Chains A and B, each alone.
Chain A
Amino acid sequence: MRLPPLLRKELAWSRRQVAVLLLVLVLFPAALVSATSAFGDVVPRDTPVAVVPQGEDVSRDDVAVARGAATLFAEPVTFDDRDAAFHALEREQVYAVLTVPPDLGGDPATVGLYVDGSVVPYLQPSAAVVSLLGDSLPAGVSVERTVVGPERSLSAYLVPTFQLVLVALVAMAYLPHVLASERAAFDRLRVESTLERVLATKLAVFTGLMAVPLGVFAVSAGWYGYGVDVAALGAVAVYLLTFLTLAALSAAVTLATDFATWGRLCNLGGFLFVLLFSGLFYPAGFFSGTRRELVRLLPTHYAVVAVRGYTLRGASLGTYADWLLGLAAVAAVAVGLLGLAVRRYEGVA
């Protein structure tokens, strides 16, 4: 057995695949290392926290004192209205609500610290926040921590997370694989039907099939006694819209790159990006600075917050109605991009 000819073949292969190898062996690792820097702190330091007066008799100075104390562990955001602050808490725009009593520094007073029981990664840090706040507020001011809604376990918190991981996996890895395996039939399909119809049928079937894992999640979560509402109407809508969006985008990439290897790698990169930067595991508030803004640009971030809201907090359908409409609009854009990719594929195929 002679190895040199085989090694020469590998060398020739690597010369032909230099772009793909650069992507896999250089750019991906660099991107992954860069992604680790997004998770700098276990206990977040600049998480957005709402600061809201308890009543009309609270002065600007009182609010300023509370804001100053909160700056030690959070990025305070002042709200004038209590309902608006709690609405922001429900939408994970803030991770705690600090209610400020009048005359801080005068009579003994109690600052309220409200955290959401479903945002599990923030529950333990919020306990530490109580003592931090107590130390930095004027003497005589106590802090009372209240958990809003049912307090969930980490296991229950991860149910909607893994639902969306599955959605992304099927849409961005399995569906492109299925398309590639059927590529040989595309010429005949184009003659006897149209690619648009073929892909529309496939997307509809796959979107329908995603109801199966949804049912499995519901049954399994029930069996484990998590008490979460996996089949809430809003959650199902978000779940299916997210699948449709990601599936249309990955199919568009597959066709636009004419089933090239680098197209598959783009979809894989997109999958990892969605996993790392949608706030699936850690809420967006755990990221810092520009990375948090990046997370908030992604539709999948709003999907995961809404699914957590419907599934863990029992939110009403209307709570995230605007985000649902936004997700529907994004899905429509993704389907439109798929249409353009089909035209490009037909032009170059």
Chain B
Amino acid sequence: MTDRPAAVTGLTRRRGDVLALDDVTLSFGPGALHVLAGPNGSGKTTLLRVLAGLDEPTAGEVTCPADVGCSFQTPSVYGDLTVAENLDAFGGLSDADGAWRATLVERLGLESVRDRPADTLSDGQAAALDLALALLGEPATLLLDEPLADLDAARRRAALSLLEAFRAPERTVVLSTHDVAALDALCDRLVVLFDGTVVLNERESALASAPSTAVAEGVEAALERQ
């Protein structure tokens, strides 16, 4: 079940005049939950998209894992289809297990909206559906772009408990967030990006403070260097 680890070496990604990532080298090994943090526009989403194989690097090398589940900042779902139809459509692509699907629906609070078109869901419900679709195929690697951002308290708790249960020696989770405090208990490794560069890259055990405090320290240090 272990997939090849997601990794980038000397990755640069440019979009027109904007340098989204500048010479980034990182590897995301299995058995850990890697947290990407940093201010808006620091390159977190771009890094996740490159790792998912959705964006081509301008320069550098990328190893994309083969068995990936993704959640996106803007939910990637069929708007015209209901929640249940979306789960059918994408579950069919990943040979999802029926019992696991039922668990996700129940724990992420999608049961009551299962017959509603995705276009009519609230932001939080759509984000929950997007997360459910990422987890549906029980992939070896999860790439999650701000999965907690729009979730209400109950769904957020459910999402964190699903992620905790998902952590296993053969699995990798790479997750971007602005709310590192919510992940203090789960974070195995913290990567802080700033202006497309890595300003902090530490195992949780090596951090002097809690990950949420370390993010602020890392960004502050980067600002001072500028």
Contact = CB atoms under 8 A, between A and B. Distances in A.
B137 A192 contact: yes
B80 interface: yes
B53 A191 contact: yes
Interface in B74-115: 74-80, 90, 93-94
Contact of B68 (A191, A347, A349): A191
A349 B54 contact: yes
Nearest to B118: A184
A191 B137 contact: no
Given A190-B54, A191-B53, A349-B54, A185 B76 contact: yes
* Among A182, A187, A189, A191, residue most surrounded by chain B Cβ atoms (within 10 Å): A191
A349 B55 CA distance: 7
B200 interface: no
A190 B93 contact: no
Contacts of A191: 52-54, 68-70
A184 B76 contact: yes
* Among B52, B93, B94, residue most surrounded by chain A Cβ atoms (within 10 Å): B93
B35 interface: no
Contacts of B93: 192-193
Interface in A191-208: 191-193
A185 B77 contact: yes
Contacts of B79: 181-182, 184-185
Contacts of B52: 187, 191
A310 B108 CA distance: 58
A188 B90 contact: yes
Nearest to A178: B80
Given A192-B93, A193-B93, A349-B54, A187 B80 contact: no
A240 B215 CA distance: 59
B72 interface: yes
Contacts of B217: none
Contacts of A190: 53-54
A186 B76 contact: yes
B54 A187 contact: yes
A192 B133 CA distance: 10
Nearest to B72: A187
Contact of A181 (B74, B80, B133): B80
B56 interface: yes
Contacts of B77: 184-185, 188
A182 B78 contact: yes
B162 to A, nearest CB: 18
Interface in B56-77: 56, 68-70, 72, 74-77
Given A190-B53, A192-B93, A192-B137, A182 B80 contact: yes
A191 B90 CA distance: 11
Contacts of B80: 181-182
A51 to B, nearest CB: 59
Contacts of B76: 184-189
Given A182-B80, A349-B54, A192 B90 contact: yes
A186 B69 CA distance: 14
* Among A181, A185, A190, residue most surrounded by chain B Cβ atoms (within 10 Å): A185
A187 B55 CA distance: 10
Interface string A164-194: 0000000000000000011011111111110
Interface string B8-52: 000000000000000000000000000000000000000000001
A188 B56 contact: no
A190 B49 CA distance: 11
Nearest to A198: B93
Given A181-B79, A349-B54, A188 B94 contact: no
A227 B205 CA distance: 83
A262 to B, nearest CB: 18
Given A182-B80, A347-B56, A349-B54, A188 B137 contact: no
30 contacts: A181-B79, A182-B78, A182-B79, A184-B74, A184-B75, A184-B76, A184-B78, A184-B79, A185-B77, A185-B78, A185-B79, A186-B76, A187-B54, A187-B70, A187-B72, A187-B76, A188-B70, A188-B72, A191-B52, A191-B53, A191-B54, A191-B68, A191-B69, A191-B70, A192-B90, A192-B93, A192-B94, A346-B54, A346-B56, A349-B54
> Which 4 residue pairs are nearest across A and B when measured between Cβ atoms?
A188-B76, A187-B76, A192-B93, A185-B78
Interface of A: 181-182, 184-193, 346-347, 349
Interface of B: 52-56, 68-70, 72, 74-80, 90, 93-94, 133, 137
Given A181-B79, A193-B93, 6 more contacts: A184-B74, A184-B77, A188-B77, A190-B53, A191-B54, A191-B69
